[in-house]
Amino acid sequence: MRKCYNWLFVAGAGVLVVVGILIFHYAILPIIVHKQVAETLQLNNGTDAWDRFVNLPVPLYFRVYIFNLINPDAVARGEKAIVKEVGPYVYKETREKFNLQLFDDNDTVRYEERTKFEFDAKLSHPLTEDDYIQPTNPTAPIVYSIVERLPEVSFLSELLDPGFKAMFGDRYGLTLNVTVRQLLFDGVEAKCPPNGTIVNRLVCSAIHNFPLVKVGRRLPNGDLSIAILRFKNETSGGVFEIYRGNHDFEKIGMITSINGAPTVDNWPGERCNLVSGTYAESLIKPFLTMDSKFSFYDDDACTASPMSGDSEETVEGIDCLKFTPASSFLSPVTDHPENYCYCPGSIGGLTQGTACLKKGVMDISPCQGT
């Protein structure tokens, strides 16, 4: 009988050990891991997480593809355009945060971010920034799109051509013959003499002074320098404030305001202007599953994109979850009426809006400039 009791004791102890191991593995260990990960990722000055946040250690690469118009004379006669893709011209994009302020009561950090583009000759080879390209002249479409949406002066669109000729002289046409560096960053000069014609001054004024037109810069002599991406290079995109994850780790990286406000004013609707979602690239919260739902705020589009699980993949031997924008994002307003505010609206409250775009297409000029 004593042996029986001994075996029962051993069996009971074994069951308790197994149960204890299971409880530890499935209940206690996840809590410990979650706590350790949270403490590692919380944004506090002097930690590795803080250093990664201030200077993103992972390089970002910005690839530019340009379409040369190879039959401009035929297009001028009304024929179909034929273009040839050239690229990629690869730029290394670095982002540095500065003017950082910590707010312990709100558990937030406020900062500005400087973006810098550097041409990567190795990844772009054999292409170079000094390659001459023949893209369509971007100046005319910019000004035409503005004037045609100004109801009071839309009739002037038929009179603009002489103004463009005065600005670009012999170089004016459907295409520009410029280098990649000139088109993107250095700028293409356009003449804006103070004694120019009324139309010439109208065109120059539209590019330099109209709301959201960021591609033009006035030179000391009054002329304009037009570059597509210069306004994003080595400049601050505004003042951002995000949660640090100390009080509530689930909120880490969530954006609370831009320039002190919980909304932006780029879109003709409150929902599209709402500042929400994860912002900093290095602060996407861990422990996601395929069923996780979150949104990602993109300052290149000035709005938050809802994300959903797409697939499980392996990248360089690491198991990963792939998330893509939810199917409702940029769907037609006939299917999702709440997307109406992504329809091209008024520019600066001065122009008329235009028709909604098709599925998957977004006009980001209200955010990035025409």
The lowest-confidence range among 167-176, 188-197, 268-277 is 167-176
What sign for the dihedral angle of Cα 16, 17, 20, 25? negative
- Give the residue, 91 or 319, on which the prediction is more confident: 91
DSSP code string of 73-133: HHHHTTPPP-EEEEEEEEEEEEEEEEEEEEETTTTEEEEEEEEEEEE-HHHHTT--TT-EE
369 in the Ramachandran plot: left (φ > 0), alpha (ψ -120 to 50) or beta?
A: left
Q: Is 190 helix (H, G, I), strand (E, B) or coil?
A: strand
Q: Residue 153: CA atoms inside 13 Å, Cβ hemisphere, count?
A: 15
Q: What is the pLDDT of residues 195-248, one digit of tens each?
A: 777 767 766 776 666 655 677 777 788 787 888 888 888 777 789 999 998 888
Write out the two tokens for 262: 């919980």
Q: Is 334 helix (H, G, I), strand (E, B) or coil?
A: coil
Q: Tell whether the model's pLDDT for residue 181 goes beyond 90.
A: yes
Q: What is the mean pLDDT of residues 291-314?
A: 86
What sign for the dihedral angle of Cα 279, 285, 288, 293? negative
Return the bridge partners of 255, or none.
242
Residue boundaries of the structural domains of the chain: 19-54, 56-251, 253-368
Highest mean pLDDT: which range of 21-25, 152-156, 328-332: 328-332
Q: Is 356 helix (H, G, I), strand (E, B) or coil?
A: coil
Q: How many CB atoms lie within 10 A of CB 112?
A: 15
Q: pLDDT band for 353, please (50, 70, 90 cuts).
A: very low
Average pLDDT value over all residues in the chain: 78
Q: What is the pLDDT of residues 35-65, one digit of tens each?
A: 666 667 788 888 888 888 888 887 889 999 9
Q: What local confidence, expressed as pLDDT, does residue 102 receive? A: 92
Whether pTM exceeds 0.85: no
